[in-house]
Copies of this chain bind each other. A is one copy, B any other.
Amino acid sequence: MSAIQKNVEATSEQYSSSFTKGHLALPPAKKYLVLTCMDARIDPAQAFGIELGDAHVIRNAGASAVDALRSIVISEQLLGTTEIVLVKHTGCGMLTFKNEDAYGVVEKNLGAKAVAELKEKKLDFLPFPQLEAAVEDDVKFLQASKLVPDSVTISGWVYEVETGKTRRVV
């Protein structure tokens, strides 16, 4: 077992021994979802004030709304959420490369077969060159989608990994 796997087991022992939230319902109690980045420096529960059971939390590279659409539709149409809080962040890795750079790294590290798989899957890494503009673009994408009804409240934010602050953009 790896050190990380041992840590999961040890944490589980401790966490479950004082766990009191086994009664929570499947649909989020506060009917909202947070979409943010997978970045290691973000703890959504702490930074955005999410109590256990209150909100769906979707995370991917760059907090991409395009990438998250499947989960967002499930959250809203099947589990009743009516508000989206979208949070990108300063110092995001997605600001630092372009698709062709990522394809180049994959080719160098993993070879031609891996690049063939990227192409077969039409994988777009969805990087973005400017942070606030990317928040605006993603909010617009959600507003324009027929899969997100106008009744859904959408806000866009930037979390600052340097200060722990979350500020509103849209």
Known A-B contacts A70-B67, A73-B106; the reply to A153 vs B2 at CB < 8 A is yes
How many angstroms from the CA of A121 to the CA of B145 in the assembled complex? Answer: 11
A134 interface residue, CB < 8 Å from B? no
Number of copies of this protein chain within its complex: 2
Known A-B contacts A21-B164, A106-B77, A147-B110; the reply to A125 vs B70 at CB < 8 A is yes
Shortest beta-carbon distance from A102 to chain B in Å: 6
Known A-B contacts A78-B102, A110-B149; the reply to A60 vs B68 at CB < 8 A is yes
* A19 neighbours in B (Cβ, 8 Å): 163-165
A61 interface residue, CB < 8 Å from B? yes
Which residues of A come within 8 Å of B, CB atoms?
Answer: 2, 4-5, 7-12, 15-16, 19, 21-22, 24, 26-30, 32-33, 38-43, 45-49, 52-61, 67-71, 73-75, 77-79, 83, 85, 91, 93-94, 97, 102, 105-106, 109-111, 113-114, 116-118, 121, 123-126, 145-147, 149, 153, 155, 157, 160-168
Sample of 17 further A-B pairs with CB below 8 A, known A38-B57, A40-B52, A59-B60? A2-B153, A5-B85, A5-B155, A9-B168, A12-B166, A16-B164, A19-B163, A26-B41, A26-B93, A39-B56, A40-B55, A42-B57, A70-B126, A77-B106, A77-B109, A78-B93, A114-B147
